[in-house]
Amino acid sequence: MRHFSTSIRVYYEDTDVGGIVYHANYLKFMERARTEWLRSIGCEQPQLLAQNIAFAVVSADIQFKKPARFNDELIVSCQLMKIGHASLQFEQKITLKQNNNHLLSQASIKVACVNLDTMSPRTFPPNLLEDLTCDI
């Protein structure tokens, strides 16, 4: 199981009147990390979309432990834990770069491979499955 992470800067747009990152935006950051992880194993999603294939989030179980703040540099990790018939299970963490990778948030996220037209689950394209299997 390969460790993958990407760096994300917190901008004004990500914050709220409480002075911290708006909670729903952590899910955006985690999705950016999954996108970069897919790219790192050679999968560019527009090529999937052109074949009418997309990834859809099925469930997310997320804990918000400490707040991220404006201008923070975050490290967002992404680990593929399990490859199902038509789904992927990830563990993801968001840590604070400038503070010894202090844990801010963690989540278990399940993503399905779907037909874009119908949004119904479908098996992974063979090439993609091979790349995924190498990574777990």
The residues of the shown chain that bind its own copies, judged by CB under 8 A, are: 9, 11-13, 15-20, 22-25, 27-28, 31-32, 35, 44-46, 49, 54, 56-64, 66-67, 69-71, 116, 119
Element (H, E) at 36: helix 24-40
Q: Is 105 exposed, middle or buried (0-12, 13-18, 19+ CB in 10 A)?
A: buried
Q: Rounded CA gap, 69 and 92, in Å?
A: 19
Residues marked active site are found at 16
- Backbone φ, ψ for residue 19 (5° rounding): 85, 5
Smallest distance, its own copies to C-beta of residue 122, A: 14
Q: State in angstroms the smallest separation of the CB of 39 from its own copies.
A: 9
The least CB distance from residue 75 to its own copies, in Å, is 17
C-alpha span between 95 and 102 (Å, rounded): 5
Rounded Cα gap, residues 47 and 63, in angstroms = 33
Read off the tokens for 46.
């527009």
User: Closest CB to its own copies among 16 and 133?
Assistant: 16
CB of 2 to its own copies, least distance (A): 21
How many angstroms from the chain centroid is the CA of residue 92?
Answer: 7
Rank residues 43 and 83 by Cβ distance to its own copies and give the closer one. Answer: 43
If the CB atoms of residues 57 and 132 are measured against its own copies, the closer one turns out to be 57
Q: Closest CB to its own copies among 44 and 133?
A: 44
